[in-house]
Structure 1
Amino acid sequence: MNHFDVKAREWERRFFKRFASGTVETGLGRINLVESVSPKQVHFRTQHGKGSHGISRERVRAAIAFFLYRRTTMRKSLEQFNKFSSFLMGLLQIMFVEIAKIRITAKGLRLSLRGTRFTPAGFDRDVRGLELVRSWGQRGALQLLPFEGRQV
């Protein structure tokens, strides 16, 4: 198990301890009703559907690990975990409600973790460059230092 699998297990356990049943809103606003959460599966029903569907918690954990590793994911890329990718994206959105944001793009729905940063480099030598970085909302830039070690 790598770091992301361990974190995925922590997120999944923490979430399902306080979420046993309720509603999950998909990215486009449809409602899915979570009927029950067992140790092996999450059972849910769509708003207009009559039957119940299930997703194994292993697949949910794998989707969480994938999302934590990639930090951004499209709904289409969640189809590799389950065919109900819209429900899975809604579940991820509820799990990471404080640190993730869902966006509608031209290619589909995208869920992104906040905090992915662009670190500008090489702007430290120019005052106008630092002002530009500040205007972008960045708090700092990488400082390039001269190499003072021995050259072999």
Structure 2
Amino acid sequence: MAAPIAPEPTAPWPTHRRFYIEYRYLDVLEHLNHAAYFGFMETLRCEYYLPLLSNSPPHLHPSQLDIIIAEASCRYFAPVLYGEEILGEVTVARPLGRTSFVLLYRFSRKGGKEVVARGRSVVVCYDYAKGEKKAIPEDRRRAMERHAVDPASEGW
């Protein structure tokens, strides 16, 4: 069993979650498969973004979500093994665009001291009914800008 992870994220990473590495996440080399990180990033993205929606119902249907992923990437720094626990964190990068924003992800172990992977996604606000991108709603923009970080200061 991995050492316990600090329960609080390190500023300015407002959304965090622990991921316990189960057998189903492993690849043939018996370490965390690269694709699992993208699933973890999706979980963190939803946990970050859903609270920004005003009057968000408890069970939001995907058609009510107004974002789409334009790009996603991940860099890996150390293998993660079965039974370990990693801390996943997400924050938004500044500057925010008119219709899009960049989310930065960090995965670490040992109480946040050893970064094992970093991810990045470009998220576009999208009007599915019209089939086109749209401006980031002002209330969400203000909420995201309150804790937006300079990517260079976070090792990007």
Q: TM-score band, normalised by the shorter chain?
A: under 0.3
If each structure's helix is expressed as a fraction of its own residues, which one has the higher value? 1
Structure of greater Rg: 1
TM-score under structure 2 length normalisation: 0.23
TM-score by length of 1: 0.23
- More strand by percentage: 2
